[in-house]
Amino acid sequence: MSRALNLVEDKRADAQDRVAALLASLKSAPKAIGGHRVGLTGPPGVGKSTLTSAVARAVRARGRTMGVVAVDPSSIVSGGSLLGDRARMSFDPSDAGLFVRSLATAGEVGGLAYAANSAVRVLAAAYDVVLIETTGVGQSEIDIVHVADTVVLVIQPGSGDVLQFLKAGIMEIPDVLVVNKADQEELARRAVADLRGALHTAQAVGVSGREDGDWETPILATSATEGTGIEELIDAVDAHRKHLEPTLKARRHRGEVQWMLDLFMRKHGEHGVSTLHGLTEIKARAERELDDGETPLSLCERLSREYVAKLCQTS
């Protein structure tokens, strides 16, 4: 597993074909199809890493295996990362049913590491549940939607995050809302009430934009340090996975299309898009060809070759 994840983090051009082949071989693995990919996001300091540890222990106690991808911010100067998420987590190192991997963002805009999508797919082929913990910086609350089946947004009491999320349109994204540090009892109750009001406001002005429109987003209070509310959180996440069953394949397909578009845009920008007849055309191709066995990486490489060929024709 470690070798496979090392490969997907390798940005060298000669590694990309091997990564694409690896992902293609894992695409039809039973766990990859039937498993659950959970995104855990929220602002820095809300206790995501401690909550991840508590959730992992509870999932393992239920007899399921789990892989964790912890995305850490890195220096925009050196590209280095302290991988602090891993340091804040508490796991049994002898547990063969639990695998934890930290990834540095390496300056990526959006708070998701370059290799996060690939790493999730590698782990999803081997583990029942894969949890992706994001940096919680900027765009990551939105980016995680394209990776995870279920998105859990975590806030802490008294932070003022609810108003900021409502302004930013983030309240329409989570499938489960969590107020962590619920041991701050009065502040936690107030935060839960604020979240209910924010959800009601988002729905009233018609910005919920949910694909699973009949899903009612639960609001839960947890204390990761005291272990309260963790079982209820897992129950809510499981309920959402069951709710998604009829539409899960389509949801994941949309995520793969978006991933391919992001990869291509990162490599070639607006000029690459316009050279290949615009975003609408590229997206339509992705929707067709990813259904025909391509992976986002292999399709991006093929489109890149087409782009280079067109540049050569015009030079």
Q: Annotate the chain with three-state secondary structure.
A: CHHHHHHHHCCCHHHHHHHHHHHHHHCCCHHHHHCEEEEEECCCCCCHHHHHHHHHHHHHHCCCCEEEEEEECCCCCCCCCCCHHHHHCCCCCCCCCEEEEEEECCCCCCCCCCCHHHHHHHHHCCCCEEEEECCCCCCHHHHHHHCCCEEEEEECCCCCHHHHHHHHCHHHCCCEEEECCCCCHHHHHHHHHHHHHHHHHHHHCCCCCCCCCCCCCCEEECECCCCECHHHHHHHHHHHHHHHHHHHHHHHHHHHHHHHHHHHHHHHHHHHHHHCCCHHHHHHHHHHHCCCCCCHHHHHHHHHHHHHHHHHHHC
Whether 299 and 235 share a structural domain: no
CATH number for 95: 3.40.50.300
Whether 235 and 257 share a structural domain: no
What per-residue confidence (pLDDT) applies to 80? 45
Residue 14 placed within a domain: no
Whether 41 and 88 share a structural domain: yes
Point out the domain boundary residue: 223, 246, 269. Answer: 246
If you average pLDDT over residues 246-275, what whole number do you get? 93
* Average pLDDT, rounded, for the chain: 85
Is 156 or 125 the better-scoring residue by pLDDT? 125
Whether 285 and 238 share a structural domain: no
> What percent of the chain stands above pLDDT 90?
49
Is 81 or 186 the better-scoring residue by pLDDT? 186
Residue 15: band (very low, low, confident or very high) from pLDDT cuts 50, 70, 90? confident
Q: Would the CA dihedral through 181, 185, 186, 192 be positive or negative?
A: positive
| Distance in angstroms (rounded) separating the CA atoms of residues 305 and 24 | 19
Point out the domain boundary residue: 190, 220, 246. Answer: 246
Residue 172: band (very low, low, confident or very high) from pLDDT cuts 50, 70, 90? confident
Whether 108 and 175 share a structural domain: yes
Residue type, 41: T
Residue-number span of the structural domain to which 269 is assigned: 251-314
Is 171 or 244 the better-scoring residue by pLDDT? 244
Q: Which of 12-21, 135-144, 287-296 has the lowest mean pLDDT?
A: 135-144
What per-residue confidence (pLDDT) applies to 22? 92
Distances (CA, A) of 74 to 69, 226, 265: 15, 30, 22
Distances (CA, A) of 277 to 150, 183, 212, 295: 34, 55, 32, 21
Q: How many domains, the chain?
A: 2
Whether 231 and 169 share a structural domain: yes
Whether 238 and 265 share a structural domain: no
Residue 187 placed within a domain: yes
Residue 129 placed within a domain: yes
Whether 263 and 218 share a structural domain: no
Whether 78 and 173 share a structural domain: yes
Point out the domain boundary residue: 246, 273, 289. Answer: 246
| Distance in angstroms (rounded) separating the CA atoms of residues 116 and 32 | 15
Whether 98 and 232 share a structural domain: yes
Residue 2 placed within a domain: no
Give this prediction's pTM: 0.88
**What phi and psi, each to the nearest 5 degrees, are found at residue 280?**
-60, -45
If you average pLDDT over residues 103-115, what whole number do you get? 65
What per-residue confidence (pLDDT) applies to 89? 67
Residue 224 placed within a domain: yes
Residue 199 placed within a domain: yes
Whether 212 and 227 share a structural domain: yes
What per-residue confidence (pLDDT) applies to 73? 67
Residue 8 placed within a domain: no
Residue 11 placed within a domain: no
Whether 167 and 190 share a structural domain: yes
